[in-house]
Structure 1
Amino acid sequence: MRVFFAIYKELLILIRDKAGLAILFLMPLTMIIIMALIQDGPFRDYQQAEIKVIFLDQDGDECGKAISQGLNQAGIFKITQAEYSKYDLNNIREEVNKGTYKVGVVVPPGTSLMLQTHISRDISRAFGELTNGPSEDIKDSLHAAIQVIYDPALQASFKKSVQLALDKILDGYQASQSIKVISQHLSQYFPNGNQFNIDTRRFIQLDQKTAVPELQGLSLNSVQHNVPAWTIFGIFFIVLPLAGSIIKEREDGSTLRLRTIPGTSLVVMIGKVLAYLLITLAQFVLMMLAGIFLMPHLGLPALEIGGNLSALLLAVVSIGLAATGLGVLLGTVFKTHQQSSTFAAVSIVILAAIGGIWIPVFVMPEILRKMSVISPLGWSMETFNNLFLRGAGVEEILPEISALTGFFGAMLIMAYFYNKFKVRS
């Protein structure tokens, strides 16, 4: 019963602190909305992000047509065909430099002829050697280069996607032309004018699936990252009012009076931890509802939380305990509210940065990836990724749950011994 009244007392104090409640609930909700909208572009697949390309075909033959068709079929390019009579390489460069187009592709004159000449020479030589017959002597100096011009502001990842697409198109076109010439040579060895045809269809296909078939189609996007990330950030900001509450009670003499009543100090501390844990659960529910129902109204995908609610509840309780444990330690160690709030705010921001709250850990530099293992916010983020994206259950998240609850226990033990040492001194 005394624990219940202790919880009631803490909740009553929190409810009266309107500014504190706004920080705990509105701040993470606002961050979720803003960051999800800002990061939607970078998180989207390239299939959803169109790269504007201006294409000039000075070749006017099969190679230019094959490149144009391949870029259109790639699905990530928005192609504008430049008229040969109005554009040249300099015009294309000017258009890209102005930012009108992100990429310019120019196929120079004679590209198809050059390729066909090289292929015919090489294959003729091969058949000439096989049949001890003459081979056509063609100069090796013939060459052509597809001009690719990039907007200086284009990200390196998009440049790489353009390069890979063009490499694939050119390799495929050159292979098909080689097979065509080989077929023509082989047809000479078949009587009655029969044509020797080689099937160029692709016999090996890609069967792409996620590691968990039930989660097929689900991937990391701005909502799946930012909603759990800023929920964790908001939960850990419970440290500020919790530490402030402990310091305030110590300053007004409440703590000293409670020590005179046997067992009361422990009850008050348990009530304080449970009350703030309830606040973290309320934060989590609000953020998840925003992710599921609000995000689609903003043009973003809805949050997927998986179906293992028991594991999710265990994860949230563990994260809440870790946050409250840190708050208890800071409230015990620091003497003033200003000291605790400054240290708490800075430390949480740093732990959030290295824990993958702002951007996923896997895109960070190696030194930060190694540092992320010390962040309880990083453990929390990994727990949510396992639950939401990998379909994990209780057993799979036990390492992170153990780390979070162990962190909570360590914080309380440190606070207890610090307080005991301070009282004796």
Structure 2
Amino acid sequence: MIQKITLQGGKIMEKQVIAKAQKAREAARRLAYLSTTIKNNALLAMADSLIKNTDKILAANEIDIRAGREKGLSRALIDRLLLTTERVADMAEGLRMVASLPDPVGEVESMWTRPNGLRIGRTRVPLGVVGIIYEARPNVTVDAAGLCLKAGNAVVLRGGSEAINSNLAIANIIATAATGAGLPEGAINLIEITDRAAVNVMLKLNDYIDVIIPRGGAGLIQTVVQNATVPVVETGVGNCHVFVDRYADLEKARRIVINAKCQRPGVCNALESLLVHQATAAEFLPGMLEALKESGVEVRGCDRTMAMAEWVKPASEEDYAGEFLDLIIAVKVVDSLDEALDHIYRYSTKHSEAIITENYTRAMRFLNEVDAAAVYINASTRFTDGGQYGFGAEIGISTQKLHARGPMGLKELTTNKYIVFGDGQIRG
């Protein structure tokens, strides 16, 4: 339950949030021109500190896990919240990978000379202060901080209440390490207030925050988009489809479907809707449905799907349109590639879509006609991820078209600045 804030308490909360954003704004000025070496050393120090303090992080996470189970959080949400020694090591490795990547800040993308002798160039500069609003993913605390810092940005983090102890432990550890390695104090800021009113304050801080990136479910993202005056990069909601074409390698299709749905069902690039061409449905679906059942997946399907297994539940319009983030899948048999494309166009959230086929022409048509941040041929949608794409990590998966789309790495956390070299030119 959200606690009601008194007028006095609300003012105190607002001052605390603004104070964090002000510290970030002050730090951003210095971060913008820090050397790559200093930033990389800070990232490596942060990684080392995570490993050194693994026990402290896991102890804090255990408090969150117990509270989450008491609240009745789903298996998928518990999995998103859970930290292990291996996951902490992965977070540290992500920071090291980011440190190894080229620094986009200061990169001159192009330079040209005008007839009047002016030399005009376009270079990459930090966004400034990046606000991240996210839910039960404590690893985001590390990924977001690492990427923002390497791109020369200060960061204001506001995680969900379900991960507050984990986020506090992680943020304190990496912020201390970063400051000790030469980054300005205030480069990493965590809003410790779990009341949603703190989010409302962040959304209006145009004087201090340059962009806000929400990471979470549809409700969180829409709340941010609809209420923010600070510019927003919309991310994350993933009603991802896999279409098994009539020319599919069925064993390849089975492995991809199981991986995309079951490997980690609570994330935005997991498979939610399976489309199967009617020409291969009789051969493919019975075995596929059994494999899903054995993997603990609840199947909701169309009439033709239900005819192949009596335990399949009927799929509703909401099932085809929604994001389960759980071991649930919607299945539909379609008569043609055209019908599959129409279905995806209608229900897709423009995140990640895949076709399984050995037919080049149909694969290319799917690739060209599907409007999504990532489109796959014969591969799992689970690869839509900054680490898998070679970015080290990602700040989120942008499903909009401005200013970035797909996994947002270092380059997407910068903007352009034009630089002009003259020799006394004036405009006539």
Same fold (TM over 0.5): no
Structure with higher Rg: it is 1
Where on the TM-score scale, by shorter chain, does this alignment land: which range?
Answer: under 0.3
TM-score, normalization: structure 2? 0.21
Larger relative strand fraction = 2
